Structure 1
């Protein structure tokens, strides 16, 4: 194995004796609390760590004690963390800008300036003229420890900008409206919103979604008329089924406002003529269990992607006058058992489809005049990702798309849909001496216990030798049908350049191989995601991609649940596991309907009020299944204001692990007190968090390598 020697001079923590010199990790008080359910009670010794108000001095003191312990442990390899931070930031261009795109009379783009954490959004008249800064997030973020603009939208008359900001990380947004002719903020402001919005055609009305203040579920759609008191906003839709969440938006032709309602297995859309903002919304097709669809509008008709009698989706159409009943839909693109349709873009002359074949995302172009005429955009790499870029105008002949792989930085192309001519507009710049030719990507298929083959994307250096000595950093997610594609990540080079193999395990629970891949990894099939991950580890070790004593797993959120389950099921196979914002207290959370994201996820995890699901979830819930055994080293993170996975889930999990772990391997728990589910908000601040994780892993690997015979 060819490890670089840059960091090897840093002192090692070589034994339990050395660790004993550190402060002892904090031990939370045991305060038994009874968690009731229809199927029996459970005792939770650390339930007291839940503080919904986030104001308890003793809870905050415990989290800060864990942070202090993690930093004390990190002190031994702090030079590594500092070097990694400089290295990670050093790959990022200080000045960077996006490819401009035309929308209306302007070219829109964003850029970063040297030393600044946040983007600046600008526009320039297509006909020529000076650049206008429409939103400088750096200026808005001044005085805030956390600041994010989640969404912004320019009014149809191009004179106003609506945007949604978050200053805590809890993803509860405040609406702001800026007059682009004067630069002044309007008095109109609404709090407690989701991140979606839509304009009326007259640029005088905004449609927004209000969240329930307790559950944070999106429950109400309001129409607000600019200039009027926000208290007079009109309720235009209210959802009473708490298994659905919703959003609003405009069709690409901007002729309609859309209310979208979504659950795990079904959805529903209501549409309104944007020129009649005070009119009535019209139902596209009523919700029905196990029926999903998405819609867009072009040239007087609706284009629909749906799983109706088509698990991998098909494309259909219906006229505006026949909305309300799916029996009027007409098929345009038939279902294919081997190809999963992810999304589409309808242009005046062409239909573009982003689809999956053999787990890889490709783009197919079709001519409206003859849908049998089709072309596929090509790739020369075994593992890659093609996805749509920004295409706001329907009358264009050029399709913008992105191409990337584990070795190819993200690249924006445009292709002429008639001639096939392709142009590279921009490739992500990677500084720090990056040379694409020095890396290789590979795709392997791993047979698992039930005969299924799981695709795995691999990245390693050109000079890598498959001799069973390399450390492995294995990532997966495996939930919600979210596919973890092999995107380029400059950060991972800091591990690969030090001899690691990087693997993305495309396990069941995602949708890489089609809808059935998702169905086979949720509800009563959830354990497949865990056993798939372990089987991939076994395969990569057996086939000498990795050394058995330096295997690291990583996952976040639902992927953090994956890490927790793997830690209980196969701790001996992993040197360390990284679990970011992990969903680990499955049963208690899913029993509590007051928590965000509980009720609208019953079809993902199961409803624990049903004993079959209760027992099954309890059988793998990481917090409940913690037991006395030797655990891998663990690096666990959370955000104090996380609204998706509450901070107290990983806090309780770590507290419990500390009482039963029989190994000397460390458990570090880092809470970002000023952030939520996504971590810190600045582009450089995020790199510091990555450096802490990588520094810990390098320390664990060095120790393991030193202890080899």
Structure 2
């Protein structure tokens, strides 16, 4: 890679931040522009983009080759498995080089005489970024609401279509969270409105079709800005719900869907530390709750007694070694999604007390409930894949457990699952805990002799578990001899709720130590060459990358750091920044001195120091709603002046995208190809 091109150097404007009688000087605080219009800031971001292009220019052919490989594995003309919802069957299709889907419905499973509901390609034609947030059809199947985001900030506009004639209604709802829930009168909808500064949904409005948004009725407003807000409907369509969730606390309100003019009533009040979810079916409620049950339990309650937990009847008790993750209700059965020893399983219960488990055979895999809108169905859709098994849709008989594969993702080219192998390891880290690790590699190129390059991925936050699923894009690395590893570090719920609790707030350091120790162990065990290790993570995983390169930069040749949360301390002290107040239970509240010191000890921006850093590729979106663009921008500027070697530091800002990166099925591949080209070119340089 060319070292003769000069990197952009940002000006320094000292800005003093004082907290708990302690001062920090932030020379790049000036890079924050909430309006994203400051010419100097935009010019600097563009200069960084140009610098990246210039440095990577010698590897454009490699990047293009990788892009074409990835694109060449994708079936251009493809469709989802039709799913029945009410009178109609619904499906989506992609075709040719189109970036987006066509959405259809028909009155039969064969999709004969299908009706086009939305052509997302046409809708997206005028925008650099486009995302459909929700599509919701009225109870009588005659109207459809959909929401769109055209800049990546996750601020959605809702529009309405008459499905009988294809004409748009005059109604448009601005500045929403994206969800739309229909009342059963087919003329009333509920939506969540956002605070445009914090980007938090905090108000629920009722809208009647044919009236202006200015006449909409505020039916609920949340005063505590630590809570996220969402909407939903009961499994039997009789109630509309408002879900309120802070990191560790829940609350739920309900409304009779047949009487939308009535007021929402409190279903179960918030109690600090109590997380739950309630669904209604027929004459009772089903509750998944962690009250005196760290890994959650399943309870039921009669309709009139739900508010008092004393009336809840335990159906599945708490277990120390099994985490309850979800519930799906059917007329004849209910299915509980559980996680045991890191693996997902689905336990099918009938209402008379019998049960059976839907099992899968891979050593490590990813499985989730699919779209199952019909409670009267005798079967359930499950989505399944593993590191070697392409994404598959199974239909499982509720009574017998018999599975039928309705569709498996087709991978074009020379792919054969038998050419690859996956493993699940449990690696003992520095405090004696065993961390699960999922691995995949190509059999013919792998030698357990410490010669293979390796890409290690991690996330480790919010209790989100990154299950090992199939990615046709990763094949480009595996086919070049890479081992791909997912470190299931603390901060996820891979091994239950305690696994999450041991990777958050005061225990956050465990996440970073786990990731580093996994790397060292995989090298020691011969899975990878110590000089050919790469790491990648995004969002909270970008924080992981930032902390790890501060603590153990010598472990990695190159690092991908995407939409990264890097300026943790300053962000968590500023309640005007989107999502800050919601995050206190995850990271701690630095207005408290103990939390301040904990965060300060690992915050990537605050802990940059003069040392040799690995080669790093940083990416972000100008309109990112989750992690603001200035966090990686500041971090890159400070790292440029801090690092002691000429290692590459490349920074790319997508000027038209948000937290999810580029929209469109092929455009996204360009970002992946860039990272892989970065890693492979470094590997060639190191050989």
Q: Which residue of 2 aligns with 1:456?
A: 437
Deviation per CA, 1:36-92: give whole Å up to 9, x if none: 323422110011111111111100000000000000011011100010111111111
Q: How far, CA to CA, are the matches of 1:184 and 1:240 in structure 2?
A: 38
Structure 1 residue 252: deviation in Å? 2.3
Q: How far, CA to CA, are the matches of 1:542 and 1:368 in structure 2?
A: 51
Where do 1:255-404 residues align within 5 Å?
255-370=238-353, 373-404=354-385
Structure 1 residue 182: deviation in Å? 1.2
Structure 1 residue 420: deviation in Å? 2.4
Q: SS in structure 1 opposite 2:414?
A: coil
Runs of 4+ in 1 over 4 A off after TM superposition: none
Q: How far, CA to CA, are the matches of 1:59 and 1:637 in structure 2?
A: 16
Structure 1 residue 129: deviation in Å? 5.5
Deviation per CA, 1:190-245: give whole Å up to 9, x if none: 11111222110111111000011211111100000011111110000000001101
Structure 1 residue 450: deviation in Å? 1.2
Counterpart contact for 1:363–1:386, Cα < 8 Å: no
Q: How far, CA to CA, are the matches of 1:36 and 1:205 in structure 2?
A: 50
Q: SS in structure 1 opposite 2:662?
A: coil
Structure 1 residue 354: deviation in Å? 1.1
Q: How far, CA to CA, are the matches of 1:669 and 1:129 in structure 2?
A: 49
Counterpart contact for 2:181–2:231, Cα < 8 Å: yes
Counterpart contact for 2:3–2:55, Cα < 8 Å: no
Q: How far, CA to CA, are the matches of 1:386 and 1:375 in structure 2?
A: 17
Matched, 1:637 2:637: no
Counterpart contact for 1:299–1:348, Cα < 8 Å: no
Equivalent of 1:551 in 533, 543, 561: 533
Deviation per CA, 1:282-314: give whole Å up to 9, x if none: 212110111010111111211111101111111
Structure 1 residue 703: deviation in Å? 1.1
Counterpart contact for 1:383–1:457, Cα < 8 Å: yes
Where do 1:543-692 residues align within 5 Å?
543-692=525-674
Structure 1 residue 278: deviation in Å? 0.8
Which stretch has the larger CA shift, 517-526 or 196-205?
A: 196-205
Equivalent of 1:134 in 117, 141, 147: 117
Where do 1:110-121 residues align within 5 Å?
110-121=92-103
Structure 1 residue 603: deviation in Å? 0.6
Counterpart contact for 1:36–1:42, Cα < 8 Å: yes
Gaps of 5+ in 2: none
Q: Which residue of 2 aligns with 1:109?
A: 91
Counterpart contact for 2:357–2:401, Cα < 8 Å: no
Matched, 1:221 2:201: no
Matched, 1:510 2:492: yes
Shift in alpha-carbon separation, 1:39–1:606, aligned structure 2, 3 A = farther
Q: How far, CA to CA, are the matches of 1:209 and 1:468 in structure 2?
A: 53
Counterpart contact for 1:362–1:385, Cα < 8 Å: no
Structure 1 residue 338: deviation in Å? 0.7
Counterpart contact for 1:248–1:260, Cα < 8 Å: yes
Q: Which residue of 1 aligns with 2:61?
A: 79
Q: SS in structure 1 opposite 2:659?
A: coil
Structure 1 residue 334: deviation in Å? 1.1
Where do 1:437-452 residues align within 5 Å?
437-452=418-433
Equivalent of 2:481 in 488, 499, 505: 499
Structure 1 residue 126: deviation in Å? 3.1
Structure 1 residue 699: deviation in Å? 0.6
Q: Which residue of 2 aligns with 1:144?
A: 127
Gaps of 5+ in 1: 1-12, 14-18
Structure 1 residue 451: deviation in Å? 1.0
TM-score by length of structure 1 reads 0.96
Shift in alpha-carbon separation, 1:648–1:297, aligned structure 2, 3 A = same
TM-align CA RMSD: 1.0
Q: SS in structure 1 opposite 2:650?
A: strand
